[in-house]
């Protein structure tokens, strides 16, 4: 600031104009330098990978040889007839369907149940949040042991209740629900926190007015709580769907896609293609398609959830 006034006092008018101009330009450059390191990082590690993947998906590409001949849409044609890919998409969707709706309903129920401060609420809340800060790989290791078909903790509990042992991760029908159940346990804290914050934001007087009007608890929930939670609900549904669609670590650690490919989800399949079979070109094409599918799904969810408001 001070500079500017000094310059104005000491120079003729024509000179002044160009000086002010360069001063202004210098200010802009200085300002831009503040944001530049972050922008370069986002460009390099968030945007360029997508372009590189799009590029790699239409060329022959290997890790050692780099880019090779143009092969056009061959990778995309291959997808159309790749039976493993279609099963992987189905498994992924099943996982999302098992996990997201149940997690949201349970999280909301817990948030409502624990909304009033009573003795012990704080302890229960901390307990619910603990799995969320534990790493997913550790949770997967421990739960694989909890689910263990012979010496798992759950088998111990089942036996004590007089029930027979159940095969979880080694059973084609049980493996995916078992992983989904674990992931609900792990992730529910996230939705829970957001719902608790959302419920706190609803003014108490709405409920008081409803009681005056003779509404029962279900009616207050249906006509006050739910509509006012709608934006939050949408946020939770969209983000949880995106995260769940990309499930990888528990599959990698607990089932490795098995038994019989029943838990082979899309991100695990991409991992295998890219890093196990070294098919980076095909893996890139799969990444691009997954990206497009995910963006479309989130966009659709936002449309649908907004439309009937």
Partner 1 sequence: MSRGLRLADWASRLVVYPLLVFLFLAPTLWMIFGSLRPDSETYQYLFPFGWHTLVPIEWTLDHYRTIFALTESRRPTNFGKHFLNSAYVASGIILLSLLVNTLAAYFFARLRFPGKRWLMLFVLATLVIPSEATIVPLYMVVRDLGIQNSFAGLIIPWYASPFVVFALTQFMREQISYELDEAAMIDGAGLWTVLWRVLVPNIIPGLVTVSLLEFQVVWNMFYWPLVVIADRDLQLLQVVIGGTVGPNSLPRGRTFAGASLATVPVVLVFLLLQRYYVQGVASTGVKG
Residues 117 to 176: which contact partner 1 by CB under 8 A? 118, 120, 123-124, 126-146, 148, 150-153, 155-157, 159-160, 169-170
Residues 22-41 that bind partner 1 (CB under 8 A): 27-28, 30-32, 34-35, 37-39, 41
Residues 289-308 that bind partner 1 (CB under 8 A): 290-291, 294-295, 298
CB 67, min distance to partner 1, A: 10
What is the C-alpha to C-alpha distance for residues 216 and 214, in angstroms, rounded to an integer? 6
What number of helices (H) and strands (E) belong to the chain? 15, 2
| Site membership for partner 1, residue 2 (CB under 8 A) | yes
CB 207, min distance to partner 1, A: 13
User: Could you tell me which stretch among 15-23, 94-102, 185-193, 222-230 binds partner 1 (CB under 8 A)?
Assistant: 185-193
DSSP of 36-91, one letter per residue?
Answer: HHHHHHHIIIIIHHHHHHHHHTTEEEETTTEEEEE-TTHHHHHHHT-HHHHHHHHH
Which residue, 206 or 235, is less far from partner 1 as judged by CB? 235
Retrieve residue 168's tokens: 């979880």
CB 149, min distance to partner 1, A: 9
Q: What is the dihedral of CA 215, 220, 221, 224, to 10 degrees?
A: 150
CB 11, min distance to partner 1, A: 21
Q: Is the peptide bond before 259 cis (omega within 30 degrees of 0)?
A: yes
User: Could you tell me which stretch among 4-12, 73-81, 116-124, 208-216 binds partner 1 (CB under 8 A)?
Assistant: 116-124
Which residue, 15 or 49, is less far from partner 1 as judged by CB? 49
Judge contact between 182 and 143, C-beta under 8 A. Answer: yes
CB 127, min distance to partner 1, A: 4
Which residue, 5 or 12, is less far from partner 1 as judged by CB? 5
CB 18, min distance to partner 1, A: 20
b/e map 192-215, b = 16+ CB within 10 Å? bbbbbebbeeeeeeebeebeeeeb
Residues 52-111 that bind partner 1 (CB under 8 A): 52-53, 56, 63, 110
List 5, 45, 70, 218, residue binding partner 1 (CB under 8 A): 45
Judge contact between 95 and 104, C-beta under 8 A. Answer: no
CB 23, min distance to partner 1, A: 13
What is the C-alpha to C-alpha distance for residues 222 and 285, in angstroms, rounded to an integer? 45
Retrieve residue 249's tokens: 């670590």
CA-based nearest residue to 96, from 270, 276, 298: 298
Residue length, the chain? 309
List 167, 194, 233, 237, residue binding partner 1 (CB under 8 A): 194
Residues 215-274 that bind partner 1 (CB under 8 A): 235, 239, 242-243, 245-246, 248-249, 252-256, 266-267, 270-271, 273-274
Ranges of beta strands (E only) in 141-254 are none
């Amino acid at each position: 600031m001070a500079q500017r006034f000094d310059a104005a006092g000491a120079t003729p008018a024509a000179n002044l104009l160009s000086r002010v101009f360069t001063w202004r330009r210098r200010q802009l450059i200085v300002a831009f330098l503040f944001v530049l390191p972050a922008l370069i990082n986002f460009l390099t590690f968030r945007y360029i990978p997508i372009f590189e993947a799009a590029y790699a998906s239409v060329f022959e590409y290997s890790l050692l040889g780099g880019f090779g001949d143009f092969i056009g849409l061959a990778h995309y044609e291959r997808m159309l007839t790749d039976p493993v890919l279609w099963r992987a998409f189905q498994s992924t969707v099943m996982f999302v369907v098992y996990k997201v709706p149940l997690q949201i309903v349970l999280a909301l129920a817990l948030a409502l149940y624990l909304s009033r401060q009573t003795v012990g609420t704080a302890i229960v809340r901390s307990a619910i949040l603990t799995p969320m800060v534990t790493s997913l790989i550790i949770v997967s290791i421990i739960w694989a042991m909890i689910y263990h078909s012979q010496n798992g903790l759950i088998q111990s509990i089942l036996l004590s209740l007089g029930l027979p042992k159940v095969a979880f991760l080694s059973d084609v029908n049980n493996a995916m629900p078992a992983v989904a159940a674990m992931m609900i346990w792990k992730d529910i804290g996230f939705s829970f926190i957001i719902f608790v914050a959302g419920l706190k934001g609803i003014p108490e007087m709405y409920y008081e007015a409803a009681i005056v009007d003779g509404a029962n608890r279900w009616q207050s929930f249906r006509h006050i709580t739910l509509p006012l939670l709608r934006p939050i609900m949408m946020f939770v549904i969209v983000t949880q769907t995106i995260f769940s669609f990309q499930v990888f670590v528990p599959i990698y650690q607990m089932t490795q896609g098995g038994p019989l490919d029943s838990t082979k989800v899309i991100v695990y399949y991409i991992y295998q293609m890219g890093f196990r079979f070294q098919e980076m070109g095909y893996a890139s094409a799969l990444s691009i398609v997954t990206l497009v599918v995910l963006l479309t799904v989130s966009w659709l969810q936002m449309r649908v959830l907004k439309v009937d408001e």
